[in-house]
């Protein structure tokens, strides 16, 4: 019983102690620079300057007052028109293929369809275009090809509703835009 009484008394009195602890979050604004550090005679050291001098603060900046009328609101959201994509084909036949560019102006071929089918038809399109294939790695979506006696990669990456096919010189370097556009246009024309 004595213990319950102590707990109840402390719960009653503790909220009253909050008046003893004032908010000190802005105390740093009242700080004053201290005296310059003086070294004893005979001690050699580099010149000592204050690393973080306290800047002068205007009195009006210590209290933040917000005026709702002065807060700018973000612009209203605009509706986005989503380009209608063709449904995935269930029957054999030509897959929807579209040549375009990414946001940086790099040519890319967009192909809608199941991964395995797009992969197989990419190999057939490369063969139809008489492009020499050195190696294929379906798990990475890479086809190593030779164009004008130079090695390039044709890369197939899954995007939201289609596969993007791009041409690169290596993993980190894009192929020249003209070469990419020419090859991808040829692949589009020769897509099975």
pTM for the full predicted model: 0.52
Residue found by looking up tokens 């190999």 in the block:
123
150-186 pLDDT tens trace: 999 999 999 888 999 999 998 888 899 999 999 999 9
59: alpha, beta or left, given left = phi > 0 and alpha = psi -120 to 50?
alpha
Task: Please give the domain boundaries of the chain with CATH numbers for all domains.
Answer: 97-189 (3.30.310.170)
Cα of 169 vs its chain's centroid, Å: 24
Q: For the chain, which residues score pLDDT lower than 70?
A: 14-20, 50-51, 53-71, 79-95
Q: What are phi and psi of 31, to 5 degrees?
A: -65, 145
């Amino acid at each position: 019983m004595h213990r319950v009484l102590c707990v109840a008394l402390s719960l009653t009195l503790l909220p009253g102690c909050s008046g003893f602890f004032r908010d000190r979050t802005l105390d740093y604004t009242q700080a004053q620079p201290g005296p310059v550090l003086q070294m004893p005679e005979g001690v050699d050291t580099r010149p000592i300057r204050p690393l973080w001098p306290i800047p002068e603060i205007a009195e009006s900046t210590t209290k933040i007052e917000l005026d709702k009328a002065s807060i700018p609101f973000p612009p209203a959201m605009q509706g986005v028109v989503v380009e209608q994509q063709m449904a995935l084909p269930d029957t054999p036949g030509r897959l929807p293929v579209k040549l375009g560019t990414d946001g940086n102006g790099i040519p890319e071929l967009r192909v809608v369809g199941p991964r395995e089918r797009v992969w197989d038809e990419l190999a057939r399109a490369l063969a139809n275009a008489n492009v020499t294939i050195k190696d294929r790695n379906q798990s990475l979506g890479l086809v190593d090809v030779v164009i004008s006696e130079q090695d390039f990669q044709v890369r197939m990456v899954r995007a939201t509703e289609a596969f993007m096919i791009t041409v690169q010189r290596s993993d980190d370097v894009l192929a020249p835009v003209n070469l990419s556009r020419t090859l991808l246009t040829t692949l589009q024309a020769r897509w099975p």
